[in-house]
Amino acid sequence: MADSCPYYRGLQILTDVCVGCSHCMRSCPTKALRVSGGKARLHLDWCIECSRCYQVCEHRAIKVMDDDFGNIFNYKYRILLVPMLFFSQFGDGIPQKTITDIIGDLGFTEVRAVEQGCDLVAEKLNEYIPDSTVRPVISTYCPSVIRLIQVRFPSLIMNLSPYIPPLEVTAQYVKRKYENAGIPSEEVGIFYVTPCVAKIASIKAPVGGYTTPVTGCINMDLLHDKVLLKYKRKDFKENGIKVSLEVSRNGMRWSTTRGEKHAMKKYINAMAIDGIGHVMEILEKTENDELDGVDFLELRACDESCSGGILVRGNRFQITADMHRKSESLPDKIPMLNEYRELCGDSMLLGKVEPRDVKRYGPDIDLAIKKMETVRKLRAELPGIDCGSCGAPSCEALAEDVVNGERTIENCIFMQLKYEKSGSLKVKNVVDIMEKIWGKKYDS
């Protein structure tokens, strides 16, 4: 299952560091992880890049992929799209002007707030939602939520907003601005500072028929550390970096929980949910048609939305509070909204989003029903305590793996006891089975 997957891999398990402790397996909301050979293994088709596994890994065995920072110098014009939460990581400790000077010193020629695109997205959504025949409309802001819908809730693909997220609007604006100035596109590099893995994946492998103008990603933790280091060492000079950090009140709040909800007109009944477990709960309800009267769903995979991204340094609650405080003195709209409308207004559509590998038991329904029946029978035999000793996250997952030929029922320690008692399994066999799953965790 490892390399056959066409989806971009934002997270990588470092097999030499992984001890196969199974903490990640138990935390995965889509049950995409197993343990075998003493290492965690990821089923890429089911991964939605929510990064729960990364958060719970005590051994730092999960690595976030990143682009080489040096790549920025392949371009004459090096534009950095920064989420405003980047600045809130430093609290009041370092002035914004100093941070942008350091970003210039690192090699960028322009820095721009990624939330500038929010006002235009809000405009489009406020027009679209009241006329939409499908309710609730689901935001396309969080890429992990889009992937979750593709993998687990394909019937809700039709509920997704048809518009690209603000990041893509801002990126288009930059691209067109440089085009209009007569600068060849190969001289322009647009880099996005990402707070999470899902955004990396959304740029490397965009969903829908959309092609992103974003050249590459800079991981937020990496940039934070580079900036902080230069600041502490006073190792930077003032420079001519072009700075455009104008954002509206809605723009500043957008990446926080209820950010989109606040940007909706009063007549739109919007609901905001953060945290992957809560998001799954509400998607189940939506799928069952149990959400009467809700027009719009703002869904974010991370607790506290983007402030809770795994690449964000600092405390997510403090960062959110800081952004809310800053937002209060900001204007309703960005000053260059007209220019945004002109440059991006006609190219805001995301394109068709396809479901991803939902047929767990293959394309033939007849065969799938038979497999499902076997799963139910096995499931009834298994103890139901979801101990994870078999290397699968639950008894149900083991039953499914057995039916799909990926594991055997003897992987269950309770079944082992049963077979030992009846004499069909020897202690030596049991040891072999357990070593195959967990590796040799003990001597002799």
Partner 1 sequence: MTLQFNVEGGDFARAGYASSQIKKILKEIGVDPDVIKHVVVALYEAEVNIVAHAYHGVITADIEKEGIRIVLDDAGPGIPDIPRAMERGYSTASPEVREMGFGAGMGLPNMKDNTDSLDIESVVGKGTKVTMYNKFE
Query: Rule CB under 8 A: is residue 369 a binding residue for partner 1?
Result: yes
Q: Which of 233, 221, 227, 231 is nearest to 314 (CA)?
A: 221
Facing residues of 217 across strands?
192
Among 1, 358, 387, 431, binds partner 1 (CB under 8 A): 358
User: 225 vs 373, which CB is nearer to partner 1?
Assistant: 373
Among 91, 373, 387, 431, binds partner 1 (CB under 8 A): 373
Query: Rule CB under 8 A: is residue 155 a binding residue for partner 1?
Result: yes
Alpha-carbon distance of 308 to 313, in angstroms, equals 9
Binding segment (CB under 8 A) for partner 1, from list 69-77, 203-211, 345-353, 371-379: 371-379
User: 72 vs 382, which CB is nearer to partner 1?
Assistant: 382
Query: Rule CB under 8 A: is residue 368 a binding residue for partner 1?
Result: yes
Among 362, 417, 431, 440, binds partner 1 (CB under 8 A): 362
User: 347 vs 404, which CB is nearer to partner 1?
Assistant: 404
Binding segment (CB under 8 A) for partner 1, from list 182-190, 266-274, 325-333, 370-378: 370-378
> Rounded to the nearest 5°, which phi and psi values hold at 339?
-65, -40
Alpha-carbon distance of 46 to 356, in angstroms, equals 8
Alpha-carbon distance of 47 to 11, in angstroms, equals 10
Measured at the CA of 332, the angle between CA 326 and CA 337, to 5 degrees, comes to: 115
Alpha-carbon distance of 281 to 289, in angstroms, equals 13
Tell me, by CB under 8 A, how many residues bind partner 1.
Answer: 22
User: 268 vs 372, which CB is nearer to partner 1?
Assistant: 372
Beta-strand runs (E) in 237-278 = 242-244, 270-274
Query: Rule CB under 8 A: is residue 372 a binding residue for partner 1?
Result: yes
**SS3 (DSSP) at 183:** coil
Among 182, 240, 363, 405, binds partner 1 (CB under 8 A): 363
User: 92 vs 289, which CB is nearer to partner 1?
Assistant: 289
Query: Rule CB under 8 A: is residue 133 a binding residue for partner 1?
Result: no
Interface characters, 374-403, with partner 1 (x: CB under 8 A): --x---------------------------
Contact 311, 298 (CB under 8 A): no
Long-range contacts of 406-411 (CB under 8 A, 24+ apart): 406/34, 407/34, 408/433, 409/378, 409/381, 411/437
State in angstroms the smallest separation of the CB of 208 from partner 1. 18
User: 67 vs 287, which CB is nearer to partner 1?
Assistant: 287
State in angstroms the smallest separation of the CB of 406 from partner 1. 15
User: 58 vs 366, which CB is nearer to partner 1?
Assistant: 366
Length, in residues, of the chain:
444
Query: Rule CB under 8 A: is residue 154 a binding residue for partner 1?
Result: yes
Query: Rule CB under 8 A: is residue 360 a binding residue for partner 1?
Result: yes
Supply the Cα-derived Rg of the chain in whole angstroms: 24
State in angstroms the smallest separation of the CB of 153 from partner 1. 8
Binding segment (CB under 8 A) for partner 1, from list 244-252, 323-331, 363-371, 386-394: 363-371
- Strand pairing category for 11-13 and 270-274: unpaired
Tokens of 7: 């989806």
Contact 224, 86 (CB under 8 A): yes
State in angstroms the smallest separation of the CB of 156 from partner 1. 8
State in angstroms the smallest separation of the CB of 393 from partner 1. 16
Q: What is the dihedral of CA 391, 374, 416, 380, to 10 degrees?
A: 100
Contact 116, 167 (CB under 8 A): no
Query: Rule CB under 8 A: is residue 291 a binding residue for partner 1?
Result: no
Binding segment (CB under 8 A) for partner 1, from list 52-60, 117-125, 180-188, 367-375: 367-375
Alpha-carbon distance of 381 to 115, in angstroms, equals 53
Among 68, 186, 289, 332, binds partner 1 (CB under 8 A): 289
Facing residues of 163 across strands?
349
Q: Which H or E element spans position 299?
A: strand 296-300
Binding segment (CB under 8 A) for partner 1, from list 57-65, 80-88, 202-210, 357-365: 357-365
Is the bond preceding 136 in cis, omega lying within 30 degrees of 0? Answer: yes
User: 235 vs 364, which CB is nearer to partner 1?
Assistant: 364
State in angstroms the smallest separation of the CB of 10 from partner 1. 26
Query: Rule CB under 8 A: is residue 332 a binding residue for partner 1?
Result: no
Alpha helices in 118-218 (DSSP H): 118-131, 143-152, 166-180, 197-204
Which residues have C-beta within 8 Å of that of residue 6, sequence separation ≥ 6?
Answer: 205
Among residue numbers 245 through 284, which ones bind partner 1 (CB under 8 A)? 284
The residues that touch partner 1, with contacts defined as CB under 8 A, are 154-155, 284, 287-290, 355, 358-363, 365-366, 368-369, 371-373, 376
